[in-house]
Amino acid sequence: MKNHAVHQKEKENFLKLAAHLPHPKRELFARIFEAFLETEEHVSLEDFQKILREKGLSVTKEELKEALELFCRLGFAQRKEFIGQPPVYEHRHLGEHHDHLICTRCGRIQEFYLPKLEALQEEIARQYGFKSLDHRLEIYGLCAQCQATRAKPALPLTLVSAGEKVRVERFLGGSQALARLAAMGLTVGEELEVINNCGPIIVSVRGARLAIGQGLAHKILVSPLD
């Protein structure tokens, strides 16, 4: 009931602020706005267009982009850009703030709010004589669901996300592959940090960077470090 009242107030506010638009466009954007209010997740342009289509509203990407940009300008929405993902849009509720956990494997975005963390950031700003107006905190990693699906003794290095630290458990392949790995200085028990997993796998080992091709990296079985 509370959400319905809030949404109704937001719609009335939007119609007032969008009064300058030509009537047909205002009506179209109002329908898009109503669908946006009903969407509780972070949505990309493509995802939102699909949602609208399922609701029986067909709009072009240009029309949808124009509408979302208007929502942002009027303070009803925020455009967010997270690493490795297309831009997404979320509600902007007056007087509310939250930060984000972003899964680098499935792309799931989870909102969180921690008063102690907010207070600590304000304290840091005060210590430096800084007037804080806004901030954004993004934590990248693996969500609980993705961790659960990977709960195995060992997995190929190619499946490890950038930023993860792992331990080498064993090697697959013939003598030639093993010789190449030995020449690189990789041994069982070695601890690695994956720097980049796009193209050649770049890892940090003993303070140095190594580039490992996808084929060879798939033969290196590792386990995540806690």
Beta-carbon contacts of residue 121 (< 8 Å; ≥ 6 apart):
132, 135
Q: Is 72 labelled a binding residue?
A: no
Cα–Cα dist 205/64, whole Å = 47
Q: Is 97 labelled a binding residue?
A: yes
Q: Is 198 labelled a binding residue?
A: no
- Both tokens of 194, joined, read 């994956």
Helix (H) or strand (E) holding 125: helix 115-127
Phi, psi of 16 (to 5 degrees): -70, -45
Q: Is 54 labelled a binding residue?
A: no
Cα–Cα dist 210/186, whole Å = 10
Cα–Cα dist 122/133, whole Å = 10
E strands present in 17-152:
43-44, 77-80, 88-91, 99-103, 109-112, 138-141
Instruction: List, as residue ranges, the binding site for Fe cation.
Output: 97, 99, 118, 135
Instruction: List, as residue ranges, the binding site for Zn(2+).
Output: 103, 106, 143, 146
Instruction: List, as residue ranges, the binding site.
Output: 97, 99, 103, 106, 118, 135, 143, 146
